[in-house]
Structure 1
Amino acid sequence: MPPAPPPDWIIQRRRLVGDRIRAARTRAGLTQEMLAELAGLDRQAINRIEQAHSSPKLDNLFRIADALRIELADLVR
């Protein structure tokens, strides 16, 4: 049996995190490809996170925050 889809409030928070990553990436003058390289991820992973199509692992959020040189809390608060 497949897992139940996440509730709307989780999807909304996921979008908010994606929006914050995109804004920080844009401020830093980085493309998705550049951020992916700095974070050790692939561009598709960055795109899925920014578009809220997937729920990022905590380790990947640490990598993204580090690559953007910002605190993880700034992405998830």
Structure 2
Amino acid sequence: MPRSIPDWVITERRRIGDRIRAARLYANLTQEAVAMATGIDRASVNRIEQGHQSATLDTLLLIADAIGVPLADLVRE
């Protein structure tokens, strides 16, 4: 039986998604542009930004690089 994810983890995942979206928009990039630069499909980029999908560390590194920001900017408050 899979263990449930605590609410605080889901909340933080949404906050990280919000930071990714804000950084992407500040860089004037579309989800499609980030998807193409990372090799991740656009729907996954959208789900990560919405907090509906958990991103691996590798994926977060690729997204940060595509946007042109340090990873810490996306995960630190």
TM-score normalised to the size of structure 1? Answer: 0.93
Q: Which runs of 5+ in 1 are unaligned?
A: none
Partner of 1:47: 46
Q: Which runs of 5+ in 2 are unaligned?
A: none
1:66 maps to 2:65:
yes
**Percent identical across equivalent pairs?**
59
Partner of 1:28: 27
Partner of 2:7: 8
The amino acid of 1:29's aligned partner reads N
C-alpha RMSD over aligned residues = 0.8
Cα deviation code 1:27-57 (max 9, x no counterpart) = 1111111111111211011011001111101
Give the length in aligned residue pairs: 76
TM-score normalised to the size of structure 2? Answer: 0.93
